[in-house]
Amino acid sequence: MAETPETNKPDFRNGFPIRDLRDGSMISGRADGEELVLGRRGDEFFAIGAHCTHYGGPLVEGLIVGDTVRCPWHHACFSLLNGEPLRAPALDPVPCWRVERLGDKLFVREKLPPPAPKRGTESPSSVMIVGGGAAGLAGADMLRREGYDGPLTIVSADASPPVDRPNLSKDYLAGTAQEEWIPLRPSDYYRDRRIDLLLDSRVSSLDTKRRRIVLESGKALEFGALLLATGADPIRLPIEGATDSQLHYLRAFADSKAIIAKATSAKRVVVVGASFIGLEVAASLRARGILVDVVAPGSQPLERIMGAELGLFIRKLHEAHGVTFHLGETVSGVNGRAVTLTGGTVVDADFLVLGVGVRPSLALAEQAGLTIDRGILVNEYLETSVAGIFAAGDAARWPHPHTGERIRVEHWVVAERQGQVAARNILGRREKFDAVPFFWSQHYDVRINYVGHAEKWDAIEIDGSLDARDCAVAYKKGGRTLATVTISRDLRSLHAEAAMEAEIRSQKRDVA
């Protein structure tokens, strides 16, 4: 019988030569039928499950940083000591094994116990989270992981429990991800952790002095500490002649389902905006065999965020998959199926998807009198201008230690990590949010990873080849790399993240 690749892998129960494991490296193998990775840092050895608990990324292709391992796909960070998911997007631990060194060999022994539950605390008296998205769920999850035993409520305007929002424009919309994969947690998760999840419930006012929120239904709820994780809302464009049923936006699970419902009988769609979401929608609808016209005012897609070269690459990638671009134009009007562009072209479409950006959801924070500056202003601990009220995710603007600027981003991983740090700070930990921003975007079989933050740059350096889809693109200002985009170079992306983290640490030392 032919050997499978799995059976070719070393069985770590039988011993593995130390000399074959370089410092800082990892190798995959197995033990009792389970796939795992053996890693080395100096004279310390670790054995950890082979797959990331986010989307199953291969940890062996990741990076060891201190006593953590980083996932190559979307930069989740796990403890090598006990498998704890230290940083999102993974929310669940990976198993770890004890490693014994005997002579010049390493032996993987028994599985280690999972991360121990933290000692319980009931302070603050209760925690209210407004927003059932990335930051809200990750915050609630972390509060319970950190041993918070008090009342914990998530109030969400969404009709569905927290979902894997990035999937809504990717595999789910393309029809390759099942509906059951979309909720971030099953319903019994909330019951088991005593998280009161109020869905379809919009908070209409916040009284910071009396420490209470009021729902649109009129119900008032008091809180000890509050996390505002209200995210962002799609910008809505009035389009002359278009009916509401012709125009689609994409933020919630229901929006993705509505587009899919239309797509089942549609032949042509116009996507307005060449943003990440617009282009991911274009790719997913192409996967469904629908003809897609993208209309956008810029000269290249994504040029403002990633520069002209990458913009051209993205455009060619989509064109190769049959997308037609109408750049330097917008939609001037719709008449039935006829979509007229500002340049005079008329395009036939069953419906339109508008992906023209988002605005942070600030109404509640504004009404409550919190300090706002194009986002809810928070300090390095993610606390707003009112003590005990924190903000995280797309709605928050925070001091980014790498550049010293206050920034607001729309990245899944940042929102989750901020929710996690805010949760610990609600429990009094005084932890600074100093993670390096990261996001990814998927276009057909090309994943673009972006680490760092560069709103402006004076040089772009491309290492490798965009056409070969194998490159790292550095965005530099004054000779310093502010951000790096990679395609097919996941390890490079992790190294770029680690280098920026080291810079932040050394800046902190200089200040101290």
CA-based R_g, the chain, Å: 24
Apex 228 CA angle, 227 and 231, nearest 5: 135
The answer to whether the CB of 136 falls within 8 A of the CB of 159 is no
What span, in angstroms and rounded, lies between the C-alpha atoms of 504 and 229? 26
Give the separation between CA 45 and CA 350, rounded to whole angstroms: 58
Q: Is 47 in the site for ligand FAD (CB under 6 A)?
A: no
Q: Which of 84, 146, 158, 171 binds ligand FAD (CB under 6 A)?
A: 158
Residues 82-141 that bind ligand FES (CB under 6 A): 89-90
Nearest to 422 by CA among 162, 129, 107, 209: 129
Question: What is the x/- site pattern for ligand FAD, positions 185-214, by CB under 6 A?
Answer: -----------------xx-----------
Q: Which residues, 43 to 62, sit near ligand FES by CB under 6 A?
A: 52, 54-57
Q: Select from ligand FES, ligand FAD, none the partner in contact with residue 398, using the beta carbon and a kind-dependent cut-off of 5 to 8 Å.
A: none
Write out the DSSP string of 244-263.
Answer: GGGEE--SSHHHHHHHHHHH
Residue 483 touches which member of ligand FAD, ligand FES, none, C-beta under 5-8 Å by kind? none
Least Å distance, CB 375 to ligand FAD, is 10
Closest CB to ligand FAD among residues 28, 484: 484
Angstrom distance (rounded) from CA 437 to CA 220: 36
Q: Is 426 in the site for ligand FAD (CB under 6 A)?
A: no
Interface stretch with ligand FAD, choices 42-50, 162-170, 323-331, 368-376 (CB under 6 A):
162-170
Secondary structure percentages of the chain, helix, strand, coil, to 5: 25, 35, 40
364 near ligand FAD, judged by CB under 6 A? yes
- 482 touching ligand FAD, by CB under 6 A: no
SS3 (DSSP) at 133: coil
Per CB under 6 A, the list member of 47, 50, 128, 155 interacting with ligand FAD is 155
133 binds, among ligand FES, ligand FAD, none (CB under 5 to 8 A by kind): ligand FAD
Q: Can you list the alpha helix ranges (DSSP code H) found in 354-464?
A: 363-368, 412-426
Secondary structure string (H, E, C) spanning 330-384:
CEEEEECCEEEECCCCEEECCEEEECCCEEECCHHHHHHCCCECCCEECCCCCEC
Note the residues at the interface with ligand FES (CB under 6 A).
Answer: 52, 54-57, 71, 73-76, 89-90
Positions in the binding site for ligand FAD (CB under 6 A) = 130-136, 155-158, 165-166, 168-169, 202-203, 229-232, 250-251, 277, 361, 364, 393-395, 410-413, 415, 439-441
